[in-house]
Every structure is written in structure tokens, then in C-alpha cells.
Amino acid sequence: MSVSATHAGVALLAVVVTLFVTLLVINLMGGEKRIEKTLPRLYDADEGAFRRSLSALLGPQLLEGNRVEILLNGDRIFPPMLHAIAAARNTITFETFIYWSGEVGEAFVAALCERARAGVSVHVLLDWVGSVKMDDSMLDRLEKSGVEINRFHKPHWTHWGRMNNRTHRKLLVVDGAVGFTGGVGIADQWQGDARSPEEWRDSHFRVEGPVVAQMQAVFLDNWMRATGHVLHGESYFPVLRPMGDQAAQMFSSSPSGGSESMHLMFLLALTAARQHIDLSASYFVPDSLTIHTLTAAAARGVVVRVLLPSGHIDSIFVRKASRASWGPLLRAGVQIAEYQPTMFHNKGLVVDGRFVSVGSTNFDNRSFLLNDEANLNVLDTSFAARMHRVFETDWAQGERITLAMWRSRPWQEKLLEQGARLLRSQL
């Protein structure tokens, strides 16, 4: 080989490496400005100004007339979802992050295929990363039955820069009138009733009323991005009558359309707290602003409790990064406990027995900056009271972590935790 040919080969290799590194950096960096300053505390969670800020500043509007049913753990989550699918007459829209092979996955495939063969328009949007453990045969059966199925951000060389953006949303809407959202994935790990480490603890919610149209709109936002197709009309957006007495909004965020909005919503709610903050999080890697907001709440007398997974967790790396950040929180009087029976995949926030936020969002940079997320916000004292009781039951099964316990962990653990925290922008 000639010297010129060798130089050309080296130059080509350099170009390829440079391109790869550039795309990797673009993929790992956020493109939007971060919220940098603490929000001033201007009102309490039970004041009209708080409600107006949720609607006017962050949107969409809080709508009256909704009914939200709490579903705890797989034994009480999957049957209502499958029953709603079986009862569909016109449309089914379904978006989820985790979809794995197994009994639960087979049950949903069978239900969706049956409705598609019956003439129902079925649209399924799966995150590519979250559905890699789904057998191709399941996808084939869905497609052959007439289900329109798409994978969100399947890797391709033309859009490497967006591969780190995943849809973490969990949305099921049937006939535009009944909605489901929460934290559950379509996998066998969510079966049961959190009775053992093999049965994960999680919550999901069945929704009726005008807010279901917002849930449908959130699904359609990603569906249009993935397919370029617009779904509309009476079958997707029927007239929705009041079904209860709860005010609610379906809140969403995405790196392509304001990723910081979910972070801002949580900070707004935490800042409005006067008495109690009950925070459940399956992944908790708080940034400095979140830590400051929680410690400021504790300093003004708010009882702040944070319930997290114990050693039963599917990402030990995330747990280590989380534990590295607990010092300022514990010193400020924030109470932290780890749920002992099984993996705690629950996500929820209850503020002052008035405001509740539940859905797919975790308290970490991945949820606030990188993922597409969706949370149902409810302003209702009776619903908040029920969610507070759920939190109390979970809290009773947690082990309280004291400042002395945190300080006395082995130095090897501290070193690993600090190492894990270096990558918190991706966790």
C-alpha cells in the first residue's frame, strides 16, 4: 500500500471517529437552558393562584368533572386495563415504555389482536429501548391482526442525536372516554400484589371525564412525531360528560417541546407546600435545585418524607448515585425511607392533602430532561386523602435512614456512590 493510500485511510478513520464522538456528545447533551434559580414562594397549594399557575404558566387547563380510581399492584391494575380493551368499540391508543415477553405481554397481545380483528382501530406506540425484550413474534401477531404499531426512536444512523430521548409515558385510552396512566410496565415483574421480591410495588389510575381528552392528546403528540399521521374525529375525541367531582390535568414534557416543564411543575408544587410533602420515587437522583427546594421546605416546617427503593431495585447504579445526594436532605430534617418488601416502582407526589401528581415521571435528570413523560395532576382533597393513606401504608413498610446511618456507611460505598453520581445527567 502506498504512503498516500495509508494517509487517506488514516484521514478517513479520523473523520469517522470525529463524527461518532460528535454525535455521541450531541446525544448526551441537553439542548435547552436549565432552570437555574430557586422559585420564590408566593402562595400555598390550596390557593387559587397555585391553580392558575398550574394552568396558565404550565398548562394545559385544569378541568372539572373527573373521576380517578386508584389501582394498586398488578392484581388490581391489569384486569381493569384488559377489561377496558375488551370493551372497546371504536379506538384504542396505547403508549408504553416497558413491554417484555411473558404472561402479561401475551395477555395484552391477545386482547389487542382480538379487538383489531373485530374492526377497532388499534394504535400502539412502544419505546424501542423499553421493548427490546419483546419477542418479534408478538409484534408480528399484532401487525397481522391489523394493529398499527410503531417503535419510538428506533436506532438509525440519520438520527443518532435523538436516540437518548425515550418515551417513558404510560398511556392507554379506550374509545377516547376511558384512560389509564401511572407507573406500571407490561411485564411479569408487575404481576401479583407486592407480596415478595418477585412482585413489584406500583400504582396505576383509571380515569373518566373531560381530562381523558388531554390524555388522548398527549398520546397523539408522540404518535404524530413517530408516524406523521394525525388521528382525530369523534372516535378519538367524543363528547365527554362530567363523571366525578375532581379537577385534573394531564401534564406532559418532552425534550422536543419543553423538557423543563415537568421539572418546573414539581418545583412549583414543592414550593407551595405548607404542611406536608409525601414523595414516592422509584428513581431519585435529585439535582441541586431540587435538593435546595426540598431542604427549604423542611426549613419552613414542612414535614417532608421521601420513600425510595431498597436493595430490591433493577438499577443498583441509580441507587448508589441517589444515596450520594442524601446528606443535605437528612441534615435539613427531610425523612428518607427505603421500601423493604420488593422493588418500589411507585411514583407520586402529595402536597398538603390537596395536590396530587402521579404518572411516569421519576425525580431524576433522565425524566426531567431526556425522556418524554406524562403525569396526571389532581386538585382534590378527597383524592389526596386517599393517596396519603396509600403513602402511609407504604411508608410503614420502609426502613428509615438516619443521618448517622448515612454517615457510617463504608468508605468503599461512599467512593462508588460518588463515582455513580458523576453520571447523574444520564440517570
| CATH code of residue 251 | 3.30.870.10
- β-strands 335-339, 398-401 pairing: antiparallel
Task: Identify which has the larger pLDDT, 398 or 364.
Answer: 398
CA distance 184 to 135: 19
Instruction: Give the number of domains in the chain.
Output: 1
For residue 7, the model assigns a pLDDT of: 47
Q: Which three cell numbers stand for residue 406?
A: 448515612
Question: Is residue 217 pLDDT above 50, yes or no?
Answer: yes
> Would 229 be classed as within a structural domain?
yes
Q: Which three cell numbers stand for residue 207?
A: 380515569
Question: Is residue 313 pLDDT above 90, yes or no?
Answer: no
Cβ distance 206 to 71 under 8 Å? yes
Tell me the average pLDDT across 352-368.
90
Tell me the average pLDDT across 166-192.
96
Question: Is residue 242 pLDDT above 60, yes or no?
Answer: yes
List the one residue out of 86, 247, 245 whose CA is nearest residue 172. Answer: 86
Share of the chain above pLDDT 90, in %: 68
> Would 20 be classed as within a structural domain?
no
Tell me the average pLDDT across 37-46.
86
Question: Is residue 158 pLDDT above 80, yes or no?
Answer: no
For residue 277, the model assigns a pLDDT of: 98
List the one residue out of 377, 354, 363, 425 whose CA is nearest residue 43. Answer: 354
For residue 256, the model assigns a pLDDT of: 65
> Would 170 be classed as within a structural domain?
yes
For residue 371, the model assigns a pLDDT of: 86
> What angle (nearest 5°) sits at the alpha carbon of residue 172, between those of residues 386 and 191?
65
E strand or H helix at 211: helix 211-227
> Would 4 be classed as within a structural domain?
no
Question: Is residue 19 pLDDT above 70, yes or no?
Answer: no
Question: Is residue 427 pLDDT above 60, yes or no?
Answer: no
The distance in angstroms from the start CA to the end CA of the chain is 47
Task: Identify which has the larger pLDDT, 14 or 265.
Answer: 265
What's this model's pTM, rounded to 2 decimal places? 0.89
Task: Identify which has the larger pLDDT, 28 or 416.
Answer: 416
> Would 5 be classed as within a structural domain?
no
Give the CA distances from residue 190 to residues 123, 204, 212, 420, in Å, rounded to whole numbers and listed in that order: 23, 11, 24, 27
CA atoms within 13 A on the CB side of 155: 7
Tell me the average pLDDT across 336-364.
95
Question: Is residue 422 pLDDT above 80, yes or no?
Answer: no
> Would 17 be classed as within a structural domain?
no
Q: What is the DSSP string of 120-163?
A: -EEEEEEETTTTTTS-HHHHHHHHHTT-EEEEET---GGGGGGT
Tell me the average pLDDT across 48-70.
92
> What does pLDDT average to over the chain?
88
> Would 12 be classed as within a structural domain?
no
> Would 374 be classed as within a structural domain?
yes
Domain coverage including residue 199: 32-426
For residue 30, the model assigns a pLDDT of: 46
**Is residue 36 very low, low, confident or very high in pLDDT (cuts 50, 70, 90)?**
low
Per the DSSP assignment, residues forming a β-bridge with 205 are 70, 181
Active site residues: 168, 170, 175, 345, 347, 352
Phi, psi of 251 (to 5 degrees): -100, 135
CA distance 271 to 173: 32
Question: Is residue 155 pLDDT above 70, yes or no?
Answer: no
Tell me the average pLDDT across 242-254.
94
Question: Is residue 338 pLDDT above 80, yes or no?
Answer: yes
Assign 374 to helix, strand or coil: strand
For residue 412, the model assigns a pLDDT of: 78
**Is residue 15 very low, low, confident or very high in pLDDT (cuts 50, 70, 90)?**
very low
